[in-house]
Every structure is written in C-alpha cells, then in structure tokens.
Structure 1
Amino acid sequence: MDTRTNADLLVLLPHVVDAVTTAATHLTSNFSPDLRSPATRDGIIAGFAALDTPVEEHLRRELTRLRPTAGWDGDEFGTAPLPPGEFWVVDPVDGVVHYTHGLPYWSVSVALVRDGVPVLAVVHAPPLGRTYTAVAGHGATVDGAPSAKTEPGAALSATSLGSDPAGDPESTRRAGLSLAAVAPHVLVVRNLGPTSVQVADVAAGRLDAFWLYGRTRDLLTGALLVREAGGTVTDTAGRPWTDRSDSFLATAPGLHQGFVSLLSTVDAPPTTSA
C-alpha cells in the first residue's frame, strides 16, 4: 500500500477523535458500576440496540461530513469482504456486554478502510482514560511500545473465548482447543474486555499477544494499531492477515513465531494409530 497518499489522514485524524469522544459522552453519562443487565437474553439484546443506536447515528453523521465519499459499514461482526473504495467501519459500543453489567471494559472503535486495508484507526476507552490512534505509514499513538519479550513462557496473553459473533460453531471449537494449546506454555491467558481494547493493548505493550478465531471486520482497527506500533499481525498460521482471514494473531515481534508454533496444533490433522 502506498502510504504517501495518507498525509491528508493526519489532518483528518483529530477530527475523527473529536467525533468519537463526543459520541462517547452519551455512554459515559449513562454508565455506572451499579448497572445490571436484564435477566433475559431478549432483554439484553434490546438493551444493546438502545446503547448502540444513538452513538452510531452521531458517528455516521459526523464521519460522513468529514469524509463524504466514504461508505458506511456499521456491522462490526460482518464477515463478507468490503467492496473496493473507502468505508468507515464502526463499532459504537465494543464491549456492550460489559457496559450493561456495570464493568468498565468497553470502547468506541472506528476505522477508515481503503480497498479492504485499514488506513486510520481510533479506539476510545473512556472508563480507562485511553485513546489509541493510528494512521497507516505514520505510526500509532498509544502510551507505550510493543513488548520486548521473546519468550512465550513470560507472555501476558489474551484471547476471546465467547461464542463466535457470526454463529460459527467451528470457530468456537477452535477457540477452546487454542486455550488448551497455549495456556500451559505462557505466563497467563486472560480475556480482558472488548476485542478492540485488547488488541490496542498489544500495540501499547500492556499485552504481549492476542488471538481470535473467526472472521470479523471488528479486527481492522486493532490490526492497524499493532502494525503501526511495530507489532506483528497475521492469522494463527503466520500468514498475512486480511478481512478474509478466519483467524487473527497480534503479538510483540519477538513472540510471533512462538505463538504460531503453539497454535499450530489447533488445525493440525488428527493423528491415526497404526
């Protein structure tokens, strides 16, 4: 990708940050540690929509004003590759489950994607007081640097072990196998909140590695943050990651091959006895 054309995105970036932080005020004004989610699944899903809708409407209005030629994609769990051209990919409340349970692990996530490749990213996590940004070819701004660790046994790693957002049982099965493959060989494995913040914390050097099975556009924002911070992003087999990949791995550079080796057993063909 020719990043020489991205100087205009450096001018655009602070305006996107303003739009994201303003949209998040609706969430922060209504958030409390005393929140408790509805008792039924239908009630929880209805609560999700009530949170997402006003934030998405604000972002769509402001981001369209900033980049009128860019399309809009509000389906963060979408699995089909985006068409050619520029699109805003937005998750109005990443970590809405945590929000509705009074937990402070949620964010607003925005990426500008050009021909399937993220070129601008903003993750704003108000309860944590953090905003992560990146522009392709111009680095990431986070309060840290990728971990210098090279030994998986010392790695603070994270993954997402919930049901696959697209309803793919195979991804859920692989996620379970991956935990058994990795956990005995690392310092610890955690699920520390929304995907956007966990991947952003790999960029910041707070986490050493994050992996996930399944295909979702929600990963585009974090992928740019990690790459621009000097980390490594591939699928779990070590191949280049795109929005067509069915797995995702982001690590500190010195840990990448070690995690690929650990995760290689998940998709290995079963052994047969003679």
Structure 2
Amino acid sequence: MTDSCIDLKADLALIRDAVLAAGDLALSEREAGLKIWSKSGGSPVTSADHAVDSYLRDVLMAARPDYGWLSEETPDSTDRLSARRLFVVDPIDGTVAYMKGKPWWCIPVAVVEDGLPVAAVIHAPALNETFSATRGGGATLNGRTITASDTTDLDDASVLADARLLEGPHWPEPWPAMRFEKRNAIAYRMALVAAGAFDAAIALTPKWDWDVCAGALIAEEAGARVSDHHGGAWRFNQLDPRQNSLICSAPALHPLIVRRTAPIPLAPR
C-alpha cells in the first residue's frame, strides 16, 4: 500500500469521525433552540451552522495544521490557494430543511489535493446515512459499496431538479417525460445519484465548492459522471470557489443531458 493511500485512509477516518460528531452537535443545537438570521443575499443561517463550523475547524485544523480551509461559514482567505491540500466544508447543507425539522440536510466535508477531491464524507444525521469515498477507492453508504444507476434512457428517469426548468417550451431539443423530485441539500442530491436512488441531479446555476465538492468525489467513485452543463470538468480551490453548474448523473445519461443543456451559455461570474 502506498503512502498516499495510507494518507487518504487517515484523512477519510479523520473527517468521518469529525462529521459524525458534528451531526450530533447539530441535532443537539436544534433541540436547545436556534438563533436564526439572514445573510446578505437573504438565505438563512443559524447558530448551529456557526457552532458546527467552529467545531469542524477546530478539530480538523488541529489534526492537519498545514491544510487550507474553505467553508461556507468562515470568511474566505486567499491563503488557501497556496495549500496543496485543504478541507472544503459546508457545516449544514440544507439549512431550511434543518430549521423545519425535515430530514433532507447533511454535513459534507472533502479533502482537496491539487484541485481535485481525494477524500469525502456526506453525513445525513436525521436519516442515519453516511456516504464516503476516497479517490480510486470506491464509494460507500454506511460501509456498503454503492453504484450509480445503470439507466440508459432519459424517458421516465428519476431526476432531482426543478421540473419547471426542464418542462418549458424553450428547449431546442425537448426533454422526454421524467419523474422529478426535490431534496434541499445539493450534496445530498449528489449522494443519492451516487447510490443509484436517482438517475440524475441537474442545476443550471453556479454552485459553491462547499455544496458540491464532497458529492463530486462520492458520485464519481460510484461510477456517476459529474460536470458543468457544457460537460466541462470541475477544478477546486480556485480563486472563485464556484462551479458553473451541476450535471450529476448515471454514466449513460450524461451525454444525453449535456446535449440538451450545452446550448445554454455559462452564467456570468
């Protein structure tokens, strides 16, 4: 076993233990009563988001002081750009679901090395589901290997997306009839595609790295394909920590989706 494989296993164990404890913290914070306010863009944030962020930062950076840090709830710093490895964290993805007592929220954490995720965990505490992966090591759900759907046809595919977006008349190539559902957390949507519970997740607006980084590795290691809506590959730890858009799907569906979405210009950044 190479040193890099040992490092990835150690990093995976570190972030998994931290994320499981952070899930317990999030549940106890909600039980004790949340303070809620709005960010500058209008999205809600809670005292639990900040408590989980602080906990993860303290634990992970104490264990890996030479790693960089990127989190939704920590002011960004360009210092991370010079780090070969960094943690990418969303303390609570799906805050609205979390606030309302719905189960569709999660805590995603990834380790990025040279622009690519190499270890990742997505933990959904209310569902007792923990997805994890290392680069080249496959993906698991609660310790069991997961594989993306083998669906080959978009007709009747199960898709996590806004039906109003895809069912409109403005598409040069119409979409076939598909089954649409919603889940609050972007990372959890990607994990569900990785597990084969859904055939695709589609979002045509820019997504923050902390929302999609862990999901990208878990989905790819499960055999799914992940890209922007032009089919472009993602790179992480860039100056602008966002990806243009999200196509995460069963491998056979990816070209069918990108063929339809590619005419849409990339959003201005």
Q: Secondary structure at the match of 1:185?
A: coil
Query: What residue is the counterpart of 1:116 in the other structure?
Result: 115
Shift of 1:57: 1.1
Residues 208-260 of structure 1, C-alpha deviation per residue, up to 9 Å, x if partnerless?
11122214112111111111111111211222233464122111111111111
1:145 equivalent among 144, 147, 151: 147
Q: Which amino acid aligns with 2:92?
A: V
Q: Residues of 1 paired with 2:199 and 2:74: CA distance?
A: 25
Q: Residues of 2 paired with 1:103 and 1:6: CA distance?
A: 37
Shift of 1:183: 8.7
Q: Residues of 2 paired with 1:239 and 1:30: CA distance?
A: 39
Task: Show the 5 A alignment for 1:1-274.
Answer: 5-31=4-30, 48-75=45-72, 83-84=81-82, 85-142=84-141, 143=144, 144-159=146-161, 177-178=165-166, 180=168, 181=171, 184-212=175-203, 213-217=205-209, 218-243=211-236, 245-267=243-265
Residues 130-168 of structure 1, C-alpha deviation per residue, up to 9 Å, x if partnerless?
000011111111253210100001211113x5xxxxxxx
* 8 Å Cα contact 2:11/2:111 also seen in 1: no
Q: Secondary structure at the match of 1:224?
A: helix
State the number of aligned residues: 248
Query: What residue is the counterpart of 1:171 in the other structure?
Result: none
Residues 88-143 of structure 1, C-alpha deviation per residue, up to 9 Å, x if partnerless?
11101111111112211111110111122111111000111100001111111125
Q: Residues of 1 paired with 2:100 and 2:17: CA distance?
A: 27
Greater Cα shift, 80-89 or 144-153: 80-89
Q: Residues of 2 paired with 1:21 and 1:205: CA distance?
A: 23
Q: Which amino acid aligns with 1:17?
A: R
TM-score normalised by length of structure 2 = 0.80
TM-score normalised by length of structure 1 = 0.79
* 8 Å Cα contact 1:241/1:248 also seen in 2: no
Q: Which amino acid aligns with 1:214?
A: P
* 8 Å Cα contact 1:121/1:134 also seen in 2: yes
Point out where structure 1 has 5 or more consecutive residues left out of the alignment. 162-174, 269-274
Q: Residues of 1 paired with 2:35 and 2:47: CA distance?
A: 13
* 8 Å Cα contact 2:44/2:96 also seen in 1: no
Q: Secondary structure at the match of 1:17?
A: helix
* 8 Å Cα contact 1:183/1:189 also seen in 2: no
| Change in 2 beyond 3 A, CA 1:188/1:4 | farther
Alpha-carbon RMSD? 3.3
Shift of 1:5: 2.4
Percent identity (aligned): 32
Point out where structure 2 has 5 or more consecutive residues left out of the alignment. 237-241
